[in-house]
Amino acid sequence: MKLPVYLDYNATTPVDPRVLEEMIPYFCERFGNASSSNHKFGWEAEQAVAVARKRVADLIGAIPRDIVFTSGSTESNNISLKGIAESYSEKGRHIVTCTTEHKAILETCKYLEELGFEVTYLEVDGNGLLDTEELERTVTEKTIIVSVMMANNEIGTIQPVAEIGRICRSKGALFHTDATQAVGKIPVNVDEMNIDLMSISAHKFYGPKGAGALYVRGRNPRVTFAKQTHGGSQEKSLRAGTLNVTGIVGLGKACEIAAEEMDNEIERHVKMRNRMMKEVLALENTVLNGHPEKRLPNNLNFSFSDIDINALIGDLHDLAMSTGSACTSSSMEPSHVLTAIGRPRELAGSSLRLSFGRYSTDEEIDYATERLVSAVKRLSEESPQSVISKPKEIK
């Protein structure tokens, strides 16, 4: 076993060697521009993009023409909200989202508020789940889009996406979901889940960084949005710019592998997750963040009372973990997700996210569990307040 043990798969994943192998020829040999239609180099690139588009579509139950390639989910999220806001503003100027969304959604919504759009931020319960009855009451004839993350990047809670989509469909509002942490890890079907727009990032499931996609429903209903990048006719004129053929090839291959291996990976990761969860929650001063069952197979998030989180991180220097999402790790503020689910500020500021993946081994998980439990016990004993009663789960 090599140290440190990597337990931050929700931040990013290593590129699968099979993905890299498929990408390599497109760096130096098949380096053509997919828009160059007059010679072999362009044709090869165009064909590679077509194959990748089908692989992405197959993984999520879509059709290839509804896949728009982007640089990743942050861009896809921006395109979705800004594009729909501009295109559907005559219908209404109301947007609905959730307090536990990624900053790529929340900050885009704040920007749209500055432009005069009204945004409703729905609260969640103690496990991070949205109240679908409240959602149904909130969506009106002026609501143009609802954006709710499929699986939370910090606490792993999986939302009732199909029901959310059904409500949106019945109310005449479009439904966008940030599926960054879900695609490639759990089954996703855009038709069964009533999804109109969906954001995807390759690097969350063993593809390259800087490659992603946006699913845009082309029928029943047909979604149209104002283009946000000008300068070319690429991607049906929805997103200008030379296609990142190498990254797109990698995304496509990552989707193909995920489709083949997802069931086995889910089973293996759930066993790892539950084994670690049982051992860590046996500690008196530890609480689980997120739904105990409706969560990503590979995600755990714990808060520790009476523990200096910096001391804990320092003690666990041989474990690569996160104190929150990668995009906010430099912030000194407690996680907005943890405060949104009702964790006190002190408890929210003393949390660890552990996530594992394709290359995690049982030996690594057992080692990490033993190291974490031992460190928490030692720091608890050294705490001036000693160990207090275990925090109650928030219902």
Name the superfamily (CATH) of residues 5-11+262-382. Aspartate Aminotransferase, domain 1 (3.90.1150.10)
SS3 of 124, please?
strand
Report, as residue numbers or ranges, the catalytic residues: 327
Lowest-confidence range among 65-69, 124-128, 232-236, 367-371?
232-236
Identity of the amino acid at 168: C
Backbone angles phi, psi at 390, to 5 degrees: -60, 130
- Contact yes or no for 352/301 (Cβ under 8 A): yes
For residue 101, pLDDT over 80 is answered with yes
For residue 395, pLDDT over 50 is answered with no
Q: Which two tokens stand for residue 170?
A: 């019945």
Element housing 303 (H / E):
strand 299-304
Tens-place pLDDT, residues 320-367: 999 854 455 555 678 999 999 999 988 988 999 999 999 999 999 999
What pLDDT, on a 0 to 100 scale, did the predictor assign at position 385? 54
d(CA 276, CA 259): 26
pTM of the model: 0.94
Lowest-confidence range among 71-80, 147-156, 229-238, 281-290?
229-238
CATH topology of domain 17-257: Aspartate Aminotransferase; domain 2 (3.40.640)
d(CA 129, CA 135): 12
d(CA 85, CA 142): 12
- Where residue 48 falls (left for φ over 0; alpha for ψ -120 to 50; beta otherwise) is alpha
Backbone angles phi, psi at 182, to 5 degrees: -100, -45
For the segment 69-83, the average pLDDT, to the nearest whole number, is 97
Note the helical H segments in 38-126: 40-60, 73-87, 103-114
For the segment 102-109, the average pLDDT, to the nearest whole number, is 98
SS3 of 98, please?
strand
Q: Which two tokens stand for residue 52?
A: 């990748």
Tens-place pLDDT, residues 7-27: 999 999 999 999 999 999 999
- Contact yes or no for 320/14 (Cβ under 8 A): no
For residue 262, pLDDT over 60 is answered with yes
For the segment 66-75, the average pLDDT, to the nearest whole number, is 97
Work out the mean pLDDT of the chain and round it to a whole number.
93
Query: Where in the chain are the domains?
Result: 5-11+262-382, 17-257
